[in-house]
């Protein structure tokens, strides 16, 4: 595997390890031979991917709140990690309208807690902070956002992630300034990924889980924003990007301590309607509809990422086009409903096949 020389036998601290992307990350790190310690809230459901993958066997799992700064600092400092991947977050746009204060606290102050713990870590460390494509001040025009574009956010989730980016930038300047790198030995980067799809996501109000829940029970798929355009990508694309960035930072910590977008190629920015129809085609049956009068909170109608920097500077590029990403995703769920006993091995095989592309 392309990261084996970097991550094998290294200590990797992952926040949000019990979540959807977090479980894919620790599964990949497990295959790479890393020693992983996770810090996160407990999975919400018995069918969550973390349980399916037997996550407790792949890491030292600490079930605790990212808002508990002292516990977080204690666990991180005791572990003395070589790498930190910060994924813990309140990740849902629509939920952020219901719990805006908690969303701001978890996403901004929680990020500050991780950064503050790193201040007291004595050994060198690479830290990759995962935010979102929604951190950009989105004017919803036919524009592809670059890493140095203005940050902002309409909804509480997007704004809270933009706040997190300001926190990261402040700590990077104040405590982990590259001018004094030889003193602190901390390399801090930021990643912004597009709309991620993949097997094992059961979150409420996400399009793929909504599709799967409907199709698996013979119901119509309810589509809220059929014309909305998003940068869709399979979960292994950004997770592979995080690992690649961490590896690059390990070798050249000052050069890669910056922000990177991970998204699809331009031709793979699809509407929600297109994604739903392609998913139904792969599933083999099903229909969808959009109610004529559906009151929903504001969500961006158009969002696109420029990924040229990641291509040029990291050597990263998408491996799956949109059709392949949807195919991989829906096939995972079909396998899950057909034979849950082998889904763990199926997931490992998916990672290995992707890494070998």
DSSP, collapsed to helix, strand or coil, labels residue 262 as strand
Pull the structure tokens for residue 245: 């960035």
Residues 161 and 300: their CA atoms lie apart, in Å, by 15
Least confident of 127-141, 174-188, 243-257, 323-337: 127-141
241-265 average pLDDT score = 96
User: Exposed, middle or buried by CB within 10 Å (0-12, 13-18, 19+), for 217?
Assistant: exposed
Do the Cβ atoms of 52 and 337 come closer than 8 Å? no
The pLDDT confidence band at residue 42, using thresholds 50, 70 and 90, is very high
User: What CA–CA distances, in Å, run from 272 to 207, 263, 290?
Assistant: 8, 16, 11
Confidence of residue 266 (pLDDT cuts 50, 70, 90): confident
**Which domains does the chain possess?**
4-196+234-264+300-322 (3.40.50.720)
Question: Is the pLDDT confidence value at 292 over 70?
Answer: no
pLDDT in tens, 62-117: 999 999 999 999 999 999 999 999 999 998 888 899 999 999 999 999 999 999 99
Mean pLDDT of the chain: 92
Establish how many alpha carbons lie within 13 A of residue 213's alpha carbon, considering only the half-sphere containing its beta carbon.
Answer: 13
Token pair belonging to 214:
């409907």
């Amino acid at each position: 595997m392309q990261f084996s020389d970097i991550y094998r036998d290294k200590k990797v601290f992952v926040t949000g390890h019990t979540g959807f992307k977090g479980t894919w990350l620790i599964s990949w790190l497990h295959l790479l031979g890393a020693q992983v310690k996770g810090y996160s809230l407990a999975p919400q459901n018995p069918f969550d991917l973390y349980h399916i993958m037997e996550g407790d066997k792949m890491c030292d799992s600490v079930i605790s709140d990212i808002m508990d700064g002292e516990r977080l600092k204690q666990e991180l400092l005791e572990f003395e990690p070589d790498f930190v991947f910060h994924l813990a977050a309140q990740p849902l746009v629509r939920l952020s309208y219901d719990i805006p204060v908690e969303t701001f606290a978890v996403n901004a102050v929680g990020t500050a807690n991780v950064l503050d713990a790193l201040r007291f870590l004595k050994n060198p460390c690479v830290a990759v902070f995962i935010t979102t494509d929604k951190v950009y001040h989105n004017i919803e025009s036919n524009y592809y956002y670059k890493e140095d574009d203005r940050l902002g956010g309409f909804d509480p989730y997007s704004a809270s992630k933009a706040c997190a980016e300001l926190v990261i930038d402040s700590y990077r300047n104040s405590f982990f300034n590259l001018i004094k790198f030889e003193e602190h030995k901390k390399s801090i980067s930021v990643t912004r990924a597009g709309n991620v799809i993949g097997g094992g996501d059961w979150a409420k109000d996400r399009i793929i889980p909504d599709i799967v829940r409907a199709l698996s029970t013979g119901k119509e798929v309810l589509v809220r924003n059929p014309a909305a355009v998003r940068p869709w990508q399979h979960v292994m694309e950004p997770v592979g990007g995080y690992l690649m960035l961490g590896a690059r930072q390990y070798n050249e910590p000052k050069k890669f301590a910056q922000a990177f977008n991970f998204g699809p190629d331009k031709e793979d920015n699809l509407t929600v309607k297109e994604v739903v129809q392609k998913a139904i085609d792969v599933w083999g049956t099903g229909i969808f509809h959009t109610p004529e009068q559906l009151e929903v909170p504001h969500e961006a109608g158009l969002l696109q990422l420029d990924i040229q920097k990641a291509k040029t500077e990291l050597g990263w590029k998408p491996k799956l086009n949109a059709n392949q990403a949807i195919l991989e995703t829906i096939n995972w769920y079909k396998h899950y409903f057909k034979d849950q006993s082998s889904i763990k091995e199926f997931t490992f095989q998916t990672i290995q096949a992707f890494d070998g592309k």
